Amino acid sequence: MRIIACQNLKGGTGKTTTVLSLGSYLAQLGHRVLILDLDVQGNIAESLEISHSHTMYDLLVDDFSFEACKVTARPNLDAVLSDNTLASAEMLLVSRPRREETLALKMRGVTDYDFIFLDCSPSLSLINQNGLLYAGEILVPISMDYLAMLGAVQVVENLEMIRKYYERTIRIAGILPTFHDPRTNLSWEILAALREVYGPAVLPPVRVDARMKEASCARKTIFEYDRRSRSARDYIKVCEVLFHGQTLGQNPAAERGEAGALLRAVAG
C-alpha cells in the first residue's frame, strides 16, 4: 500500500485535479483507491458530486471510525470528504496529545487499499502536518509559474523540518509540472529549471487542457468525461512513471474474483 500526500504551498497548482485523476485512473484499472480530503474547501466532494454525513472533522475530532466516515465515490474508489468544519478541527486538536499523529492513529488497521492519496491544502497547518506524518511519500504539483516553484521549495524545507523534529523521512515521489503550455517559452523555461534542480524526480508534464475544466463543471473525472483528451493521456503517462512496476497493466480486481469487467486501458 502506498500513501501519497499531494501538496504545494501555493494554491492553484492542480493538487485536487491530480489526486482525482491519478486516483480515478488507478481505480478504473481495478486497484483499490482511497482519497482523503484535508482541505477545508472540500473540493473532492464537489468534484465527484458526492456527500456523506460524516467528514474528516468527525474522523479527526469526534469518536467516529474510518468505516463510519468513508463513502464510496466510484467503483474501487472510496473517499473521506471535507468541508468548512475542518477549520475548527485544528483548534480542537491543538491541545491534544500526539496532535500531529491523530490521522495516523485513526487510520491504523486500514490496510485494504492499494493506494491512498491525500489532498492537502496550501498551508503549513496542523491538519497538513497530520497528513504528511501519515503519508510515506509526497507528490508536489508545480504549475508553470515561479511562485509555484517557490511553494515547492517551502514544501521540501518542511520535509526537512519533519525529519529533524519527528525523525520521520518522507520520500518525494515526484515533482509534477502542471498547466504546461508548449506554445510559451515560459513554460519550457520553468520545465527546464525544474529538471535542472530536481533531476529524475520530475515527472512528465500535464498540459493545459480546456477539457479538464469542462470535466470539473460536469462533476466528472477527466477519464469519465473524455478519456482521449490530452490531459487524460498525460496523467496516464504520469501513472506509468510514478507507479512503474506496480502491475498497472493488470486487473487486480479480476484477480480477486470480483464481478464486472473493468477498464484495461482507459486511453482506449
CATH number at residue 213: 3.40.50.300
- ∠ CA 36-143-38, rounded to 5°: 15
Give the three cell numbers for residue 57: 472533522
209 in a structural domain: yes
188 in a structural domain: yes
189 in a structural domain: yes
| 108 φ/ψ angles, rounded to the nearest 5 degrees | -60, 135
Beta bridge partners of 174: 139
248 in a structural domain: no
216 in a structural domain: yes
- Give how many domains the chain has, as a whole number: 1
263 in a structural domain: no
255 in a structural domain: no
pLDDT in tens, 140-195: 999 998 888 888 888 888 888 888 888 888 899 999 999 999 999 999 999 999 99
143 in a structural domain: yes
pLDDT in tens, 113-139: 999 999 999 888 899 999 999 998 999
Beta bridge partners of 171: 137
Q: Are 43 and 156 in contact (CB under 8 A)?
A: no
How far apart are the C-alpha atoms of 90 and 1, rounded to whole Å?
Answer: 27
Domain that holds residue 112: 2-243
